Structure 1
Amino acid sequence: MEKKNNQAKKAVIIGASSGIGAALAIELSKKGYILGLTARRMGVMEKEIQPELVSPSYLSYMDVSDIESSISALHDLIKKMGGIDLMVINAGVSGSSSNMEREAAEQLIRINVLGFAAMLHEAYRIFQKQGHGHIAGISSIASLLPHPNGSAYNASKAFVSNYLDSMRLRIKRRGENVTITDVMPGYILTPMTEENKRMFWVASAEKAARQIARDIIKKKPISYVSRRWRLIAYLLSLMPRPLLYRIF
């Protein structure tokens, strides 16, 4: 462990039962962070994640689509931890819109958009009050482009990325000591993506977590995971929409 417990930073990871969230919990634990982990699958966190952690950790059930109970659970968790320095908002779902019913799209939006916004604002209020803090939100390279089979998902990630960017500008203008990091993964091998046969430049969740942890510690405003996706992001920013539509 890099620091003694009484000096360790404290991080909450929302959505820590699998994929990037679980891998990041293990990585931050190695770096000495005291952790608060939330997810709907408490059993998975208890049996599969917590035994891998080398620093103190606390678990809490959270379903971000239930906003009021999530806010209450967050404050209870922070109280048990004795404070918070970093919040990672990773909770989210994916879904193909090619055959997505309206109800499924609305549930995705409740989690990826409304749940995210609620957790972002609560973290900001906490850090604003205590005078310091760091918020990392997991968006996606998918936020940069439309997709015929991922309209709801891509739009939800565009919301996340734009909201983080706007919050960063607000904080800068107010001169507040709160850091915002937009984590933009490309293709990451997780339970949510393992059936996607069209992925390229695929990174493991563990590799992604190592880079995300480094970028958080460096307080980078944007973390492209892996870094080669920075080039794709730049090219997409230059590409005329008509040309982009031809690709799909």
Structure 2
Amino acid sequence: MSRINNRTVLITGGAAGIGKLIAERCLRQRAYKVILWDINEQKLLATQAEFKGRGHEVAVQVVDVANLEDIETAAAACKKQWGMVDILFNNAGIVVGKRFEEHSHREIRKTIDINVSAPMHIALQFLPDMQDQGEGHIVNIASAAGLIPNPNMSVYAGSKWAVVGWSESLRLEQEEAKNGVVVSTILPSYINTGMFDGVTAPALTPIMEPEYIVDKIMKAVKEDDILVMEPFMTKAIPLLKGVLPTRAFDFIAGRLFGVYKTMSTFKGKAPKEAVPDKDELKAE
């Protein structure tokens, strides 16, 4: 069982949305230090000021997680100033909602850098200290898109499939080593954070409120849950894909539940809310 009390916590994409809510919960549970990484300095400082106004101190670092040098520099500064990180939330992510051929090469690279490479590089910075200490927890925020194909999010889905494969493999390695490091993989469907504004919810799979999924994430940390799939219908995806022929699964997911049409109405965040980037990527 991982406890947050008196622990140092690092949250990527911590200036807003799910990351900010996770920070709030960690502060409530009396974490020793909460460190927020984000590329958006304005939002980061505003969040820090907001928490301070409520009597909480958080540390902030402006970090472009798509840049390995940025990660290495920030991690070194983080460890020098605050010591080892006990709990890591790999939360930062972006989505480009369009058909594959409409992507630019830069958009593809940026999505892979932030959604796939960043969690790996960041975990690699802090995992050895966790192993030496004999305890630690890495929470990787993936997506239900890592379980099921979906038109108009091919690159995003591909990135999340990669995260799920890596995260679960990392978990098995730590369990084999019996070194006390827990790895949790979180696979939520659509969340009402603005990242997926405009999407159409599949049948029987409502768009979740951020507080709901954060409750599930914090429960996973407390109880060392290794896999969280929400809402309930998401749990049926691996079973159905495992037993049904592909065309039969396509019929059920696409025609009956409408999953394959969910991104046809996608809008994403307004440009002023997105992470500053010349590509104008929709970012959480």
Q: Same fold (TM over 0.5)?
A: yes
1:85 and 2:86 are equivalent in the alignment: yes
Q: Tell me by how many angstroms 1:228 deviates.
A: 4.8
Q: CA offsets, 1:168-218, max 9 Å, x none?
A: 111122221100000111111112112323464111112211221111111
Question: Aligned with 2:94: secondary structure?
Answer: coil
Question: Aligned with 1:153: secondary structure?
Answer: helix
Q: 2: CA distance between counterparts of 1:205 and 1:79?
A: 33
1:12 and 2:10 are equivalent in the alignment: yes
Structure 1: tracts of 5 or more residues without a match: none
1:172 and 2:171 are equivalent in the alignment: no
Q: Which moved more, 1:13-22 or 1:232-241?
A: 232-241
Question: Aligned with 2:42: secondary structure?
Answer: helix
Question: Which amino acid is the alignment partner of residue 43 of structure 2?
Answer: V
CA contact (8 A) 1:58 1:81 kept: no
Report what 1:145 is aligned to. 148
Q: Which moved more, 1:97-106 or 1:48-57?
A: 48-57
Q: Tell me by how many angstroms 1:152 deviates.
A: 0.8
Q: Tell me by how many angstroms 1:113 deviates.
A: 1.4
Q: Tell me by how many angstroms 1:44 deviates.
A: 0.8
1:87-102 map, 5 Å: 87-98=88-99, 99-102=102-105
Structure 2: tracts of 5 or more residues without a match: 255-259, 261-284
RMSD: 2.2
1:61 and 2:92 are equivalent in the alignment: no
Q: 1: CA distance between counterparts of 2:184 and 2:49?
A: 25
Question: Aligned with 2:11: secondary structure?
Answer: strand
Q: Which aligned segments of 4 or more residues in structure 1 are displaced greater than 6 angstroms?
A: none
Q: 1: CA distance between counterparts of 2:168 and 2:42?
A: 35
1:1-248 map, 5 Å: 8-33=6-31, 34-48=33-47, 50-52=49-51, 54-98=55-99, 99-198=102-201, 200-246=205-251, 247=254, 248=260
Alpha-carbon spacing, 1:228–1:215, altered in 2? closer, same or farther (3 Å): farther
Q: Normalization by structure 2: what TM-score?
A: 0.78
Q: Tell me by how many angstroms 1:46 deviates.
A: 1.9
The alignment covers a number of residue pairs equal to 244
CA contact (8 A) 1:58 1:77 kept: no
